[in-house]
Amino acid sequence: WRERASLDLRGAGWITGARLAATPAGLALLWLIPERSLGLFVGVATVLAAVVSLTAPTFAPGRAAYVGAGAVTGLTETATGVGGPPLALVYQHRPPAELRSTVAACFLVGEVASLLLLFATGKAAPAELGQAALLLPAIAVGAWLSRLVHHRLDARRMRLFVLVFALVSGLVLMLGV
């Protein structure tokens, strides 16, 4: 909320529209592809995207990048629970406040859509809400800590954090952790 003035409304709109459109396809992947194979595929793709980003030139994302990232996020977040790397990679060269606020806004809408669809189709059970609730204290601590460090992350450090986040997310999926 503190960085709402930095929100990229145009990018968030394209990302959210594409994500909502791709969310049902992410659900379909759960029925078509074994969970382990899906995690391995998305993990490898995420690691490759992060490695390529290390050497890719700086770019300013446009509509195609936003739509692509939104669609991939809708697929991967719904199917595997990991959808942050595509959004973070698209915004890796943008100011840190813009990255944080835009990715957070996209997740707010997209996560609700994915969860509603997963619960409506029986791919998620109410018991899983209890497991998710166990993460709330960690989220609260993270939100509190972010107040202390958000202004200390310059663009270079933020980009490095984004790439490490993508690599770790991909590896976790590949390892099935």
pLDDT in tens, the chain (177 residues): 688 899 999 999 999 999 999 999 999 998 899 988 998 999 999 899 889 888 888 888 999 999 999 999 999 989 888 888 888 889 999 999 999 899 999 988 998 899 889 999 988 888 888 888 898 899 899 888 888 887 888 888 888 888 898 899 899 989 986
> Which H or E run contains 170?
helix 155-175
pLDDT of residue 127: 86
pLDDT of residue 17: 97
Phi, psi of 7 (to 5 degrees): -60, 130
pLDDT of residue 15: 97
- String of b and e for 104-130 (b: at least 16 CB within 10 Å)? ebbbeebeebbbebbeeeeebeeeeee
Specify the amino acid at residue 16.
T
pLDDT of residue 142: 86
Indicate the pTM of the whole model.
0.86
pLDDT of residue 158: 85
> Which H or E run contains 69?
helix 63-80
Q: Is the dihedral of CA 56, 64, 24, 124 positive or negative?
A: positive
pLDDT of residue 143: 83
